[in-house]
Structure formats: structure tokens, C-alpha cells
């Protein structure tokens, strides 16, 4: 039976609120770089917005790298098991 | 309660024995209370303990508590308590007994003062833990457990070889700094490396942990690898090679984690990434770095078991754990979702959560000791942690697409275990002094300085922004029913095919040889048959006179010999 009840994130407005909170926080954090006096240890850190840029680019690089990796290493789910398993697989017991 | 000299593994083994003969609530109470008592006993221990005994001509130290091992001792007790609480509802005696034996042998290995004792517990650790995988009782789990067991026992055998060489070299079995000046040291490092999931030696972990029972993985995630981390910190601090090994471990699993479908496999890769930070800290080897590695191990055990518990709860309730099968579970498991998010925030090292106060020590040490590139790599790994463990786990399980599954919260004991772990994550994050005063080296490190908090928050928020942006752009790799090849391909596919090829070649040779032999035998049979059939040569009847003549010739020859050579 389909569940007709509306939950927190079924309302697109709530999703929007979460996203905008994130955008605004990011903006504030970036601005803080100009206001706060930071004591840095390495010259890379002195770059304005170093951590923000590194976080954003690093994360994107990871995702793009993973997509590329998937192209290389992805196989069917039964790639190993069709050789290894002698019985058909049983479903796990589902707790009530 | 009991004498100070009683090794910490004994109460656990006694509890395992009691769990074997009791049932129901009595068993629950016994298990929890013995672990609690053992923990309190350790807590109130006054100073170091060293128990010596003589074995053949060697001095053994089966029980040694000092400032390094005791920190691990505390967190092992916490992990054991939480894991047992999480597994209380199950009726499977095997899992309870093996869980306790497993935790006990980890305790034994941890407080081993000599290499021989360490070896014994190293092997018990392997054997007792495999039952937590087999307890799933599927063929897939059985085979995965078998591979796990072979590799784990193999690590023990290498350890034994290494320690024999080490004893020959140094004349002592004592387990302290080992170093890599001789072959024995390298072999022991390899044995420790297998258990700490060094790159290419890590496949047992990502293979077996996701196949264990929902409750078994919680046990597994805490003990094996962290025992190995402890042994590395004891035997190889300041070994520069470990810095690079650690940095590799921190990085490569991220890419794998992002594309895994099985969420407990995502967590397994993330576990290796976390171990990478610790190995790196041990490699740097200064007081700050070792403190960082130890405190990271401490907080990691707690938040990693919290994450495995939340995924265990999902698997227990829905029977599914693949990202493609689940999603939208926050609707019916909101408490689990919140607890999972606390674990995710801790592993991502958000300020005020426990990961933050530990990881920053390792990062600071890397910078201070002049490894800026390593620092940069670890920073990337930190952003990666947020991506695969911090966002991916809660997002795909509890939000993402609505799978339509409507279930309910897990049993109370599971929720309570998760709540305790979540509470500790927050408590350590907010009052890091609580953790710092337990560390092996005195420290006045302050993680909460403004620059550092701001830097970490920026890093994490912009990483989240990248996730949202990539998701909205449709660039983010979608969940997909598939598996990904890793180093296990070498033995699960390549070696398998190689063995098949060789065996079919040998079979070919064998059948050729058989044919040839059969030919010869047939020929022989026909030959004899022909001789003995009527008219065959063998059937000719010879008269007795022939024999008399032969004997006469023989006697004549004999006589001639006798006369020619009288002496």
C-alpha cells in the first residue's frame, strides 16, 4: 500500500531551506577570511579562501576521479560469484 | 575486585564461557556486567603493571599495562560494551560467545609484553572473529570468511617467522621498538601491515566486513585493525616509510568508497582511509603525532562503530543495505537517522565532534615536521571523508530517492548502544581535555583556536557545496548495481583462472599418459594371450628328455669351472 503521508522533505520548500542555509553559510565563511586575522604556518594557507577553494575543488576532483575509476573497475554484480557460489543466494532474514 | 596481575583477557574469556551456558536475560546481565567490571578495574589501576614468567630460556611478559596500551584498553572496553549491547537482542549463542572471545583476544594482544604472547593472541583474534562473518550463514559469507581467515592466519605465520628471526638477532622476545634494520623487523612489519590494511594488503577487510552479520561488523570494526595500529605505534614509531603508506591509505579508498553500492562496503573503505591518518601519525613519530594517532584511534573506534551500528540497524530492519535498494528511511527511522548523522559529523571532523579534536593533531604534526605535501594530501583526504562517509552514508540510506520502504526503529538495545556512542562522540568533541589527559604524552594542544576552526569549517562546507552542486548538475555518479574490482581480483579471478588453466593442462597430460600406458598394457595382454592360446608358442609341450639334457649341460659347465679355478 502506498504511503500517502507527507514527510519533512516531501515538501520541496523544506529542501530549499536546507540548500539556502548551506549557500548562505558558505558565503559567510568565505567573508570571514577577510575579517578574521589568521595565524598561518605555511604560505599556501595565506591565500585568501584557500580552504574554501581547496575543499570545493578537492571534492569535485574526487567525484570526477571516482567516475573515471568506475569506468575502469566496474563489473557486473555476479562477476566473482557466478564462479564461486554453488547454490543460489538466499535472502537475508528480515526482522519484523 | 580481582588481583592486579590478572590479565585483562581473562574476564572476557570467563564471560564467553558463561555466555555459552546461560540464556536470556541472565546472559545479557552477565555479559554486560563483566565487561563493565573489567573496564572499571582497568580504570582504577594504579600505575603500570608488568607480569613476568619464564618459558624455556626466554623471559615472557604475558601482561603489561603502560601509558600507550592503557588508552587502547579503555576504548576497547567501551567498544566491547557498546557492541555487546547492540547485539543483545539476537538469540545466536555463537555470536555472543565469539564476540566476547574476539574482544578478549584483542585485549590479550594489546597487553602482551612479548612477541610470543602477541603471536598467540594474534591468531586467536583471527579465528574467533571469522565466526562473526560465518554467522550470517550464507554461502557468500562462508566463502568470504574463508578468504578472511586464510589471510589473517597468514599474517600470524609471517609474524611467527619474523619474531623467530628477531629473537635470533636480538636475543630478546620483548615487544618494544622493533625497527627495520633486519629481515625479522621487516617481516613483523608486514604481518602488522596486513592486519592494519596497508594498500594491496587491505582486501580481506573490504571483502569480509560487509558480509558479516549486522551486529558482527560492529565488533569487527573495532578490534582487529586497531590492535594492529597499536602494535605499529609500539614497534615502528618514526619509520618514515609509514608516512607515505599512511598517505596512500588515506587517499585511494576515497575513490572506491564513492562508487560502492553496498553501504557497509563504503564504511569499510572509509575505515582504511581513517587508518591511513593513524599510520601517517605513527610514521611521523613525534610526541604530538603519536598522541594524534592514538587519540584518532580512540575516537575512530567510537564513531565508526556508531556508523556501522546505524547501517546494521538498517540492514536488520529492511534486510537491505545497497544504496540502490534503500533510501528515504528517515521517514520511519528518524532516531537512527539522527544518530547516524552524529557519527557522520564526527568522522568528517566537524568542530564540536570527536573527529575534529583528534585529526587536527596529526595534521599539525605533519606541518610542523616539514611534510607540507603530506599535509596537503591529508587535507584532501579530510574533504574525501566528508564526501563518502559524512554525506554518502546518511544521504543514500535515509534521504536520496524514496525507496518506498516503510519500517520501524530498531529494538531498544540497538538504539541505546547507538545513543551511548553518539553521546561519547559529542562529549569528546566538546571536552577534548577528557581525551587528552589519557594520552601517552602530556599535551597542552588546543584544537579550538579560531584559525583552525574556521579553516576546517570552510573546508567541509565548501566540500558539501561541491556535493550539492555536482548532484544538481547530475555529474555525481549515481547508485548503481555493480561491483568494483580491487586488488582481490588477483586471487579471486587471476589466480583462479591460472589454477584452472594449469589444472586443465595437467589433466591433459595425465589423460595422454594414461592412454599410452593403457596401450602398452593392452599390447602386453595380447602378447601373452597369443602365446597361450592353442597353437601359441607357450602351449607347446616339451618332453622330459629336454630337461635332462639341460641339466647335463649345466653340470658339465659347473665341472669345467671347478677344474679351471680350484681355489
Q: Mark which residues 327-366 of B lie under 8 Å from A by CB.
A: 330-331
b (16+ CB within 10 A) / e for B233-258: bbbbbebeebbebbbbbbbbbbbbbb
Chain A, nearest residue to B402 by Cα: A10
CB B16 within 8 A of CB B34: no
Q: Which residues of A touch B256 (CB under 8 A)?
A: 66, 69
Whether the per-residue pLDDT at A33 is higher than 50: the answer is yes
Option in B258, B315, B496 nearest A63 (CB): B258
* Size of the A and B interface in Cβ pairs below 8 Å: 177
How does DSSP assign B367-385, residue by residue? HHTT-HHHHHHHHHHHHHH
Q: Which residues of B touch A35 (CB under 8 A)?
A: none
CB B408 within 8 A of CB B317: yes
How distant, in Å, are the alpha carbons of B211, B437, B534, B535, B543 from that of B540? Answer: 78, 107, 9, 7, 10
pLDDT value at position A95?
A: 44
Whether the per-residue pLDDT at A38 is higher than 80: the answer is no
pLDDT value at position B541?
A: 77
What is the grid cell recorded at B1? 575486585
Block residue for cell numbers 581513517: B274
The CA-CA-CA angle for residues B503, B507, B508, to 5°, reads 120
Q: Could you read off the pLDDT tens digit of each residue along chain B, which spans 567 residues?
A: 688 888 999 999 999 999 999 999 999 999 999 999 999 999 998 888 888 888 888 889 999 999 999 999 999 999 999 999 999 999 999 999 999 999 999 999 999 999 999 999 999 999 999 999 999 999 999 999 999 999 999 999 999 999 999 999 998 899 999 999 999 999 999 999 999 999 999 999 999 999 999 999 999 999 999 999 999 999 999 999 999 999 999 999 999 999 999 999 999 999 999 999 999 999 999 999 999 999 999 999 999 999 999 999 999 999 999 988 998 899 999 999 999 999 999 999 999 999 999 998 999 999 999 999 999 999 999 999 988 888 889 999 998 888 888 899 999 999 999 999 999 999 999 999 999 999 999 888 888 988 889 999 999 999 999 999 998 888 888 888 888 888 889 888 899 999 999 999 999 999 999 999 999 999 999 998 888 887 777 777 778 888 899 999 999 999 999 998 876
Whether the per-residue pLDDT at A83 is higher than 70: the answer is yes
Tell me the C-alpha distance between B104 and B77, whole Å.
10
Determine what percent of chain A is predicted with pLDDT higher than 70. 85
Chain B, nearest residue to A8 by Cα: B331
How distant, in Å, are the alpha carbons of B10, B308, B324 from that of A1? Answer: 53, 31, 21
Cβ–Cβ of B143/A32 closer than 8 Å? no
CB B409 within 8 A of CB B337: no
Q: Which residues of B touch A60 (CB under 8 A)?
A: 466, 469-470
Q: Which residues of A touch B139 (CB under 8 A)?
A: 85-87, 89
The CB density around residue B490, as the number of other CB atoms within 10 Å, is: 14
Give the distance from residue A52's alpha carbon to the nearest chain B alpha carbon, in angstroms.
Answer: 5
pLDDT value at position A6?
A: 78
pLDDT value at position B63?
A: 92
Report domain extents, chain B: 1-235, 237-483, 491-564
**Residue B91, SS3?**
coil
Chain B, nearest residue to A28 by Cα: B458
CB A22 within 8 A of CB B468: yes
Phi–psi pair at B171, nearest 5 degrees: 75, 10
Secondary structure percentages of chain B, helix, strand, coil, to 5:
75, 5, 25
The H or E element that residue B290 is part of is helix B287-318
Among left, alpha and beta (phi > 0; psi -120 to 50; other), residue B425 is alpha
CB B66 within 8 A of CB B294: no
Give the contacts of B341 (CB within 8 A, at least 6 positions apart): B394
**Residue B64, SS3?**
strand
What ipTM does the predicted assembly reach? 0.87
- Radius of gyration over every alpha carbon of chain A, rounded to an integer in angstroms: 24
The CA-CA-CA angle for residues B426, B221, B259, to 5°, reads 90
Q: What's the pTM value of the predicted model, to 2 decimals? A: 0.89
Tell me the C-alpha distance between B133 and B144, whole Å.
8
The CB density around residue B161, as the number of other CB atoms within 10 Å, is: 16
Phi–psi pair at B53, nearest 5 degrees: -150, 160
Tell me the C-alpha distance between B466 and B476, whole Å.
10
pLDDT value at position A91?
A: 52
Give the distance from residue A68's alpha carbon to the nearest chain B alpha carbon, in angstroms.
Answer: 9
Q: What length does chain B have?
A: 567
Amino acid at each position: 500500500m502506498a504511503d500517502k503521508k507527507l514527510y519533512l522533505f516531501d515538501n520541496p520548500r523544506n529542501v530549499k531551506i536546507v540548500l539556502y542555509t548551506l549557500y548562505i553559510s558558505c558565503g559567510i565563511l568565505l567573508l570571514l577570511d577577510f575579517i578574521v586575522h589568521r595565524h598561518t604556518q605555511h604560505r599556501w594557507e595565506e591565500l585568501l579562501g584557500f580552504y574554501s577553494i581547496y575543499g570545493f575543488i578537492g571534492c569535485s576532483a574526487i567525484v570526477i576521479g571516482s567516475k573515471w575509476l568506475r569506468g575502469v573497475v566496474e563489473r557486473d554484480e555476479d562477476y566473482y560469484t557466478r564462479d564461486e557460489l554453488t547454490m543460489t543466494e538466499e535472502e537475508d532474514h528480515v526482522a519484523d | 575486585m580481582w588481583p592486579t596481575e590478572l590479565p585483562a583477557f581473562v574476564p572476557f574469556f570467563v564471560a564467553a564461557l558463561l555466555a555459552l551456558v546461560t540464556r536470556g536475560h541472565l546472559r545479557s546481565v552477565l555479559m554486560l556486567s563483566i565487561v563493565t567490571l573489567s573496564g572499571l578495574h582497568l580504570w582504577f589501576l594504579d600505575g603500570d603493571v608488568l607480569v613476568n614468567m619464564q618459558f624455556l630460556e626466554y623471559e615472557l611478559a604475558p601482561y603489561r599495562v603502560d601509558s600507550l596500551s592503557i588508552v587502547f584498553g579503555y576504548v576497547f572496553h567501551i567498544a566491547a560494551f557498546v557492541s555487546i549491547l547492540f547485539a543483545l537482542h539476537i538469540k545466536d549463542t555463537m555470536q555472543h560467545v565469539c564476540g566476547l572471545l574476539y574482544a578478549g583476544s584483542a585485549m590479550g594482544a594489546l597487553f602482551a609484553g612479548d612477541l610470543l604472547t602477541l603471536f598467540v593472541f594474534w591468531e586467536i583474534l583471527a579465528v574467533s572473529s571469522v565466526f562473526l562473518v560465518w554467522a550470517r550463514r550464507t554461502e557468500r559469507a562462508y566463502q568470504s570468511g574463508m578468504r578472511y581467515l586464510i589471510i589473517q592466519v597468514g599474517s600470524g605465520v609471517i609474524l611467527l617467522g619474523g619474531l623467530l628471526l628477531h629473537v635470533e638477532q636480538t636475543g630478546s622476545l620483548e615487544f618494544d621498538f622493533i625497527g627495520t634494520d633486519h629481515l625479522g623487523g621487516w617481516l613483523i612489519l608486514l604481518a602488522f601491515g596486513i592486519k592494519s590494511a596497508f594498500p594491496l594488503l587491505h582486501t580481506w577487510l573490504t571483502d569480509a566486513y560487509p558480509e558479516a552479520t549486522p551486529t558482527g561488523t560492529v565488533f569487527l570494526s573495532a578490534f582487529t585493525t586497531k590492535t594492529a595500529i597499536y602494535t605499529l605505534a609500539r614497534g615502528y614509531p618514526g619509520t618514515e616509510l609509514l608516512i607515505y603508506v599512511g598517505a596512500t591509505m588515506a587517499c585511494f579508498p576515497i575513490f572506491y568508497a564513492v562508487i560502492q553500492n553496498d553501504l557497509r562496503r563504503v564504511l569499510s573503505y572509509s575505515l582504511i582511509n581513517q587508518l591511513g591518518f593513524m599510520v601517517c601519525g605513527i610514521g611521523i613519530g613525534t610526541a604530538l603525532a603519536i598522541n594524534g594517532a592514538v587519540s584518532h584511534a580512540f575516537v575512530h573506534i567510537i564513531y565508526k562503530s556508531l556508523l556501522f551500528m546505524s547501517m546494521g540497524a538498517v540492514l536488520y530492519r529492511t534486510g537491505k543495505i545497497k544504496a540502490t535498494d534503500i533510501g528515504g528511511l528517515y521517514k520511519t527511522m528518524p532516531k537512527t537517522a539522527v544518530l547516524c548523522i552524529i557519527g557522520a559529523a564526527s568522522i568528517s571532523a566537524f568542530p564540536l565532534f570527536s573527529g575534529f579534536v583528534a585529526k587536527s593533531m596529526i595534521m599539525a604534526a605533519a606541518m610542523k615536521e616539514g611534510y607540507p605535501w603530506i599535509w596537503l594530501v591529508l587535507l584532501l583526504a579530510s574533504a574525501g571523508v566528508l564526501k563518502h562517509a559524512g554525506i554518502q552514508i546518511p544521504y543514500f540510506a535515509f534521504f536520496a530517492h524514496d525507496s518506498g520502504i516503510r519500517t520501524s526503529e530498531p529494538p531498544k538495545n540497538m538504539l541505546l548502544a547507538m545513543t551511548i556512542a553518539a553521546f561519547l562522540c559529542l562529549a569528546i568533541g566538546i571536552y577534548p581535555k577528557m581525551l587528552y589527559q589519557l594520552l601517552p604524552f602530556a599535551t597542552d594542544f588546543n584544537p579550538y583556536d579560531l584559525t583552525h576552526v574556521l579553516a576546517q569549517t570552510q573546508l567541509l562546507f565548501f566540500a558539501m557545496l561541491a556535493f550539492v552542486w555536482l548532484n544538481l548538475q547530475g555529474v555525481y555518479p549515481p547508485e548503481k548495481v555493480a561491483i568494483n574490482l580491487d586488488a582481490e581480483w588477483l586471487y579471486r579471478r587471476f589466480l583462479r583462472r591460472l589454477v584452472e588453466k594449469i589444472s586443465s593442462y595437467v589433466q591433459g597430460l595425465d589423460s595422454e599418459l594414461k592412454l599410452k600406458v593403457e596401450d602398452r598394457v593392452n599390447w602386453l595382454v595380447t602378447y601373452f594371450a597369443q602365446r597361450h592360446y592353442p597353437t601359441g608358442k607357450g602351449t607347446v609341450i616339451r618332453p622330459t628328455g629336454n630337461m635332462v639334457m639341460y641339466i647335463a649341460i649345466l653340470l658339465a659347465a659347473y665341472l669345467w669351472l671347478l677344474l679351471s679355478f680350484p681355489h
